[in-house]
Structure 1
Amino acid sequence: MLAWIAPLIVFGIVVFVHELGHFLAAKAVGVYAPRFSIGFGKTLWKRRRGETEYVIAALPLGGYVRLASKEDEATAFLEGGNENSAASASPKDGWDPDAMIPFGPKPIPENRWMESQSLWGKLLIMLAGVTMNLILGYLVLTGMFIGYGQPYLSTRADSLLANRPAAQAGMHAGDSILTVNGEPLKDWDALLRKVGASAGVPLALGVIRDGARHEFTVTPVGEEGLNPETGKKETAGKIGIIGRAGSTRIPVGDAMAAGARATAGMATSVLTSLKQLATREVSAKELGGPIAIAQASVQAARGGFEPLLLLIAFISINLAVFNLLPIPILDGGQILIMLLEAAKGSPFSMKTREYVLKAGLGAILLLVAFVMYNDIRRLVQTLFGV
């Protein structure tokens, strides 16, 4: 059951936290927020508390916080306070005839418009969503380090890939590699470094099997791939061994530090991936969208609670970094517009804003269409082998 609702859990938590950040910041600054919605489309549930209507909609692929704006009459007067909009509004559109109760038939006070806030107030609202996503990722990762311990790979072979150098040399699953060319190994990373730097060069591996010492000569095969540290394509030696995973308990302070490092590492990897896409080091065909995320969610849930938590942290941090891109309609694009207006000394005209936002929306829709195409292509290949 968990596997089937996993996509809703992942999307719901990540989007809820992001929009909650915008909402809480808007409330703190004093901007009027008539609606807080998780999802789009038909309203499944709604409840009004105070001056805000809380909504859960049918499509959990996003969400929004509606903020009062002088440029949007429907928002500035909030339907119920404007007789003209009240006459034309339809309950099917999610119209709330009581939305203006806090102010009666009067327009929203000017000091509660988004535009009336200081630059720092507006930046706080826009940055709050990505900040909450980073905090969520950090808290989940730190909680995992506290609950599950510090993960590691030992130099004991959990499995061997068939027809690869280690298997061909006679090594077995369960063998523990102690030395390389007579030098003791400290950990799995040390083994990776030695093997990676020895493509085509025979290595003498000292191994313990069932308490007995053995030695195997293995020649790593050079394979081209991306270096996770530099993000560049490099040729590294491989011998076809998968290390056995384990974990060790660590103090809470160390877990908090490890959570910070893991959060920074994930954020950096997103930036590295974007750079590789821009420079064509990685094919855009590797991009995934909602279907890919849903599939990953189901697979993670089938693997247990730990992989699902890791996926939530990963997607939350990805969303934070992606939202900071300077593309109009994303948080980063809105921040850029605010900074340009501050430098200009006056706001852009509504027509200019519309053009810019339409261009940003077009770019996002093209990206969504492309990743959906990738998702469907991979799904068809998986189902039909074509």
Structure 2
Amino acid sequence: MVLKSSDLAMRASHRQSYSMDLILHYLQETLSGIGPFVLLLGLLVFVHELGHFLVAKWCGVRVEVFSLGFGKKLLQYKHGDTTYCISMIPLGGYVKMFGDNFAAEVSEEEKSHSFIHKPVSQRIAVVLAGPLMNLFFAIFLFTAIGFIGDRQPAAVVGDIASTTQAYKDGFRPGDKILSVENKSVDGWTQLIDRISQSNEKELSFQVQRGNESIQISSRPEISKNENIFSSQEKVPQIEGLSFESNAALIGVPSPQSPAALAGLKNLDLILKVNEKDVSSFRSFKTAVIEGLKTGSEVQMEVQSFAEGKRGPKRTISLASSSTDFDALGIEFAETYVLKVKDPSPAHKAGLKSGDKIVSIDGKPVSNWTNILDSIKNFDPKSEGNISLLAMREGKNIPLQLVPEMTQLMNEKGQEENRFTIGILSSNLNVGPETVLYRPDGLLGKFSYGLSQTWKWTEFTVMSMVRLFQGVVSYKNIGGVITIGRVANHSYDAGLSVFLKTMAIISINLFLLNLLPVPVLDGGHLVFYGLEALKGSPVSMKKLEIAQQVGLMLLLLLMAFALFNDVSNLFSSQW
């Protein structure tokens, strides 16, 4: 195929416009997040350096500078021997101690205040204090969250397939799980913990279904742990038990159906039925049926979600003499195309947002998994293309597409190469209502702080392990821009979420600083540990070489993280 020069110009213009929009959006988001970013990172740096400072003073070391930030000093105040300052670049901090330069000469009378002349045990204590303060600060933050309350998914069952163990054992969508083995559960997290600790023992669940309380027995089965950041490869699970439900995003396949005639369209998002909020397709369906039982018409507040963008809200009146929901001509939009990438095989073939995929290569599709599998399993050697049948405004449209190999990042942070056609699914999910979890008593809140710190420390360690193993892509390493965006989003989400984000990053700093890399605290600990073992310090030449190598590695890592931040602007996720 030959493209005309006008086509090339239009495509180039589109790409440039798209790239510029992304850059402007990214810059706006980053700049608006400077406040939360400085607050989050500033506190973490302050706590870290405070650890070094306090233990150094306790050991009798003279501290010359305590700085938040690097570079030119913007504000400074001297008290005693120490200058306290805030510097221009808010990406870290430092504590400058007297006698920390191995090459400098120190007089006999000053050696009692010199860092390098302190016993190796005290130097280890000073260096270790920084990372440990980050760990203790995480415990403090999680304990504070225990007082404020932590929002967690409620222990309410979402949509479950009839072929799963959960359904066969008696669980139904909307069930509220009250207790496991007569022990109450406060949320979904606690429910899953109880199940994973069952050791395949049959469990008794007390469930509230409507106004009825029932007992369900289910035996968790040992199966593959989908959480790749867990140290356990297999855990007891109840297949199909999930809190996620299909969103109230609809498809209207027939233009002659009551729904279409009332004004409903493909990819409409239902917000309210008879002034009652709905979030899931299940709650929407129930509200419509109940509304038609009490009257012949229901009022809906809807908005278009075509192309993944929310349109203006509108009111729809749907009348029907029947309470048969299927007769209304409404279905969940799982097999409808939400968005089409340009350029892509789907765009080239003429597929559009709102089209329903009916079949691929003559095989009917009933869910998005069918569609993904058919495209992923495309064999270019034996198949020239795939035949896709789409439905648009009630008419079937046959299309021919040639999938292209694409490198994608999946939801687990793993890179995979697979065939795609450039479409996004309308298979959107929503979680249940959240519950405010607040542990009882001071001891309970402190215990919560300890358990959450342990949980996230284990998670971070396993993330590093999976990164080195190649299980998780190195593209997940983020830099200062990523931290800024995370800080901003968590700040907007509320105090509890912001504190949790700060605690998790504090744990990351605790572990990263313990890595045995020269210029990091962990590198210093290695040298002082060797000195303690052999009874003499490492030679000056070896230290200088190690420091240079360590600094180079650190700068390369920072540059790589920044590269990932920027490249994520333009990377395709679909």
Q: Which residue of structure 2 lines up, in the alignment, with residue 347 of structure 1?
A: 537
Q: Which residue of structure 2 lines up, in the alignment, with residue 211 of structure 1?
A: 211
Query: Which runs of structure 2 are paired with 1:138-157 in the superposition (5 Å)?
Result: 138-148=139-149, 153-157=153-157
Alpha-carbon offset, residue 27 of structure 1: 1.2
Residue 229 of structure 2 contacts residue 463 of structure 2 at CA under 8 Å; is this kept in 1?
no
**Distance change (3 Å), C-alpha of 1:227 and 1:281:** closer
Q: Which residue of structure 1 lines up, in the alignment, with residue 123 of structure 2?
A: 122
Residue 37 of structure 1 contacts residue 55 of structure 1 at CA under 8 Å; is this kept in 2?
yes
Give the AA of the match of 2:78: R
Q: Distance in 1 between matches of 2:171 and 2:455?
A: 37
Q: Deviations over 1:276-334 (max 9, x none)?
A: 22222222222222111111100000001111111111111211111111111111110
Q: Which residue of structure 1 lines up, in the alignment, with residue 550 of structure 2?
A: 360
Give the AA of the match of 1:292: T
**Distance change (3 Å), C-alpha of 1:314 and 1:240:** same
Q: What is the aligned counterpart of 2:68 among 21, 30, 38? A: 38
Q: Which residue of structure 1 lines up, in the alignment, with residue 226 of structure 2?
A: 225
Q: What is the aligned counterpart of 1:68 among 92, 98, 102? A: 98
Alpha-carbon offset, residue 195 of structure 1: 10
Alpha-carbon offset, residue 178 of structure 1: 6.8
Q: What is the aligned counterpart of 1:311 among 494, 501, 504? A: 501
Q: Which residue of structure 1 lines up, in the alignment, with residue 133 of structure 2?
A: 132
Q: Distance in 2 between matches of 1:76 and 1:161?
A: 73
* Runs (5+) with no aligned partner, structure 1: 78-105, 198-204
Q: Distance in 1 between matches of 2:115 and 2:196?
A: 57
Residue 185 of structure 1 contacts residue 191 of structure 1 at CA under 8 Å; is this kept in 2?
no
Give the AA of the match of 2:435: A
Give the AA of the match of 2:138: G
**Distance change (3 Å), C-alpha of 1:170 and 1:153:** closer
Q: Distance in 2 between matches of 1:232 and 1:345?
A: 43
Residue 227 of structure 1 contacts residue 233 of structure 1 at CA under 8 Å; is this kept in 2?
no
Q: Which residue of structure 2 lines up, in the alignment, with residue 241 of structure 1?
A: 243
Q: Is 1:12 the counterpart of 2:68 in the alignment?
A: no
Alpha-carbon offset, residue 44 of structure 1: 1.3
**Distance change (3 Å), C-alpha of 1:371 and 1:3:** closer
* Runs (5+) with no aligned partner, structure 2: 1-30, 199-204, 245-431
Q: Distance in 2 between matches of 1:14 and 1:357?
A: 24
Give the AA of the match of 2:565: D
Q: Deviations over 1:90-148 (max 9, x none)?
A: xxxxxxxxxxxxxxxx8981222111101111011001111211111111111211232
Alpha-carbon offset, residue 246 of structure 1: 3.2
Alpha-carbon offset, residue 211 of structure 1: 2.6
Q: Distance in 1 between matches of 2:182 and 2:440?
A: 25
Q: Distance in 2 between matches of 1:271 and 1:238?
A: 29
Alpha-carbon offset, residue 348 of structure 1: 2.3
**Distance change (3 Å), C-alpha of 1:277 and 1:235:** farther
Q: Which residue of structure 2 lines up, in the alignment, with residue 291 of structure 1?
A: 481
Task: Report how many residues are paired.
Answer: 347
Q: Deviations over 1:230-254 (max 9, x none)?
A: 2548897445524543324410011
- Percent identity at matched positions? 30
Q: Distance in 1 between matches of 2:130 and 2:535?
A: 26
After superposition, the CA RMSD in angstroms is 4.2
Q: Which residue of structure 2 lines up, in the alignment, with residue 48 of structure 1?
A: 78
Residue 196 of structure 1 contacts residue 238 of structure 1 at CA under 8 Å; is this kept in 2?
no
Q: Which residue of structure 2 lines up, in the alignment, with residue 21 of structure 1?
A: 51
Task: Report the secondary structure of 1:340's partner residue.
Answer: helix
Alpha-carbon offset, residue 336 of structure 1: 0.7
Q: Compare the two structures and name the one with the higher helix fraction.
A: 1
Q: Distance in 2 between matches of 1:70 and 1:153?
A: 50
Q: Which residue of structure 1 lines up, in the alignment, with residue 249 of structure 2?
A: none
**TM (normalized to structure 2)?**
0.52
**TM (normalized to structure 1)?**
0.75
**Distance change (3 Å), C-alpha of 1:57 and 1:25:** same
Task: Report the secondary structure of 2:515's partner residue.
Answer: coil
Q: Which runs of structure 1 show a deviation greater than 6 angstroms over 4 or more consecutive aligned residues?
A: 164-167, 192-197, 233-236
Give the AA of the match of 2:112: N
For the pair shown, which has the larger CA radius of gyration, 1 or 2?
2
Residue 124 of structure 2 contacts residue 525 of structure 2 at CA under 8 Å; is this kept in 1?
yes
Alpha-carbon offset, residue 170 of structure 1: 12
Residue 225 of structure 1 contacts residue 235 of structure 1 at CA under 8 Å; is this kept in 2?
no
